[in-house]
Structure 1
Amino acid sequence: MKIMKDNEIALVKEILKKLGASEEDQELVAEATIDADLKGFTSHGLGRFPQYLISIEAGTINLEENITIEKETPAMALINGNSGFGQAVSYKAMQIAIKKAKEMGIACVGVHNSNHFGVTGFYSDLALRENCIGLVIANTDPAIAPLGGKKALIGTNPIALGIPSDTYMTVDMATSVTARGKIIESRRKGLDLPDGWALDKDGNPTNNPEEALEGSILPFGGFKGYALSLLIEVLTGPLVQAGYGNGVSGTASPDKDCTKGDLYIVIDPSKFGDFDEFKANTEDFVSQVRATGENVAIPGDLEVKRISEAEANGIPIDKKLNEQLKEICDNLDIDLDSYLEE
């Protein structure tokens, strides 16, 4: 089975409408969900959507959310998401950061008391649309054991960075060797994990997704990934008054209150000099990079290719996900088959 772009957006919005979400939340969650699937991050797209329904049922997602700005200066803000949809809270936080950056040159907005927001790059992309540089980081439920340790304590702690130019230039990655969502997706599909991804609860290498979720995921690049993940934990935990270490829940445990934190940083290149010159020099550098070899890739190239293919061919729906979606839709009197294709 597969689902086309417009049908996925319509399905997500219809489910959320039936559950009582606002039109704004329906739109933002649908946009973030399809963004993940089109880019190939299916572990954070429709495949992750059933988690949000569990959170709504458990009351850990507040359908009446309305963000609160707790602290503010011309160049920063601290936001309480009031347990709203992570996608809606994050969108609003990034819009505030963009507005402040256009006034001050750079802005930083921290968020706590939000929820899982999908893929990090969706929010850095918002800055690109406004000709700004976007940097987004977040922490998650413990998933990485400190280097030399056995027990997971640090999140997979994603980072996304986008540069405005004619070339889509962006990176969106976990600081673990893979995102936890891919482990969850592998478990759902009944697939083994590649070597070098995870350890079991005793610190032994494992290819079993269930054992990996009970144990820990390895950081990318050994000490470098571990160090980056650890520092992000501080910037998205203590700095923004959110949970950290063992105090983070809700991103992989949807029935628990989400205590993770986010940080949104935006830079307006036009405050440094002429924006067109900045963009031209960036494109010149991209050309230099591509000229070094036939198969040289720029961060973002793969996503552009995946988006084109997914828009043309649709997004695959595996058997288990189809079953999960059917159960959700049957309970809400929605005809799932009308949205899917063979």
Structure 2
Amino acid sequence: MILTAEKEKSLIIEILTKLGLSEEDAGIVAKATLDADLKGFTSHGIGRFPQYIHGIESGNILTDGEIKIEKETEAMALINGNHLFGQVVAYKAMMLAIEKAKKVGIAAVGTHDSNHFGVTGFYSDLAIKNGVIGVVTANTDPAIAPLGAKDPIIGTNPIAIGIPAEDTYIAVDMATSASARGKLLEAQRKGEKIPENVALDSEGNPTTDPTEALKGSILPFGAHKGYALAFMIELMTGPLVNAACGIGVTGTANHSKKCTKGDLFIAIDPSKFVDMDQFKSETEDFVDQVRASGDTFVPGDLEVKNIAKNEKFGLKVDEKLYANLNKICENLEIDFKEYISN
């Protein structure tokens, strides 16, 4: 079963507008969700929608309201997301950071009381499209146990960086854990195993069973290095932005509780540092050096390939996800079969 990119976008907008989102906000969520699926991050795409619907039904994701800027200077802002869709809050926060960076060179916007916002790289991509560098981080429900411990305290805490260039898409979007929690949830839904050396069960033993892993902890990538980076992001997206951290973070995994995590969006305008043409030229020169060094790749190459493939052939929908989406559509009197092709 296949969803084309355009059909997925239209389906998401129809679902969300029927649930009370404005056309504008539904469009933002749809773009962010489709971006995840096209890039191959299906764990953060339309597969998350059953959880989002649960969040709306439980009152933990609100479909109507306004974000509130609680503190602001020329170079920073602190936003209360008022428990709206995370994609909507994050989009507005990143665009505000970009606007400020274009005036003063560098800006940071923090958010709290938001929700799961999909893939982190969607927002650093917004920076690229506006000719600035984007750095985005967030914390999540506890998933990583500190080294030498077995109980999770630290989130999977993603980081994304996007660099504007002349011809090359240069971007990295990664969890600081060996796997994003969403990939475990997706494997659980599909009845698949997870790779070895990714997670531990509740007793601290290695496991390839996603259900047992979700009861236990996910390993940090690169041992102490991933652990240290996840630790630092926890503080930059918790106490710094008036959000929770550690065991106080809830609501990013299943939306059964209010979301208490935080996000940090940073934008840097290269033109305030050096000539923009020079920056882009030297960036492309470095890309050329890397490509000439051997059979290698530049961060962002895989996403570019996945986008081209998925735009051409469409996005696969597994049987469990089909059933979940079909049920959502039935409840909203939407004909899901009109969107799906075999």
Indicate the TM-score class for this superposition, using the shorter chain for normalisation.
over 0.9
What's the offset of the Cα at 1:224?
A: 0.1
TM-score by length of 1: 0.99
Listed as ranges, the gaps of 5+ residues in structure 2 are none
Amino acid at match of 1:162: G
Aligned equivalents of 1:208, 1:62: Cα separation in 2: 33
Contact between 1:65 and 1:85, CA under 8 Å: does it hold in 2?
Answer: no
**SS of residue in 1 equivalent to 2:152:** coil
Amino acid at match of 1:119: V
Aligned to 2:262: 261
**Matching of residues 186-205 of structure 1 within 5 Å:** 186-205=187-206
**Matching of residues 273-312 of structure 1 within 5 Å:** 273-293=274-294, 295-312=295-312
Aligned to 1:171: 172
| Cα deviation code 1:119-158 (max 9, x no counterpart) | 0000000000111000000000000000110001100000
TM-score by length of 2: 0.99
Aligned to 1:334: 334
What's the offset of the Cα at 1:109?
A: 0.4
Aligned equivalents of 1:101, 1:37: Cα separation in 2: 29
Aligned to 2:96: 96
Aligned equivalents of 1:246, 1:23: Cα separation in 2: 36
Provide the alpha-carbon RMSD of the alignment.
0.6
Listed as ranges, the gaps of 5+ residues in structure 1 are none
What's the offset of the Cα at 1:15?
A: 0.6
| Cα deviation code 1:189-224 (max 9, x no counterpart) | 000111101000111101111110010000000000
**Matching of residues 1-80 of structure 1 within 5 Å:** 1-80=1-80
Amino acid at match of 2:189: R
Aligned to 1:270: 271
**SS of residue in 2 equivalent to 1:265:** strand
Amino acid at match of 1:31: K
Aligned equivalents of 2:23, 2:50: Cα separation in 1: 19
What's the offset of the Cα at 1:20?
A: 1.3
| Cα deviation code 1:14-37 (max 9, x no counterpart) | 111111111111100100000000
What's the offset of the Cα at 1:49?
A: 1.4
Aligned to 2:142: 142
What's the offset of the Cα at 1:64?
A: 1.5
Amino acid at match of 1:228: L
Amino acid at match of 2:280: K
**Matching of residues 198-213 of structure 1 within 5 Å:** 198-213=199-214
Aligned equivalents of 2:23, 2:61: Cα separation in 1: 16
Amino acid at match of 2:107: A
**Matching of residues 209-220 of structure 1 within 5 Å:** 209-220=210-221
Aligned to 2:119: 119
Amino acid at match of 1:78: L
What's the offset of the Cα at 1:65?
A: 2.4
Aligned equivalents of 1:62, 1:189: Cα separation in 2: 29
Aligned equivalents of 2:335, 2:178: Cα separation in 1: 38
Aligned to 1:228: 229
What's the offset of the Cα at 1:335?
A: 0.7
Aligned equivalents of 2:65, 2:236: Cα separation in 1: 24
| Cα deviation code 1:49-97 (max 9, x no counterpart) | 1111001000111111211000011100000000001000000000110
Aligned to 1:181: 182
Aligned equivalents of 2:296, 2:244: Cα separation in 1: 40
| Cα deviation code 1:261-311 (max 9, x no counterpart) | 000000000001110110000000100110001x21000000000000000
**SS of residue in 1 equivalent to 2:241:** coil
**SS of residue in 2 equivalent to 1:30:** helix
Aligned equivalents of 1:329, 1:130: Cα separation in 2: 36
Amino acid at match of 1:52: Y
Contact between 2:20 and 2:64, CA under 8 Å: does it hold in 1?
Answer: no
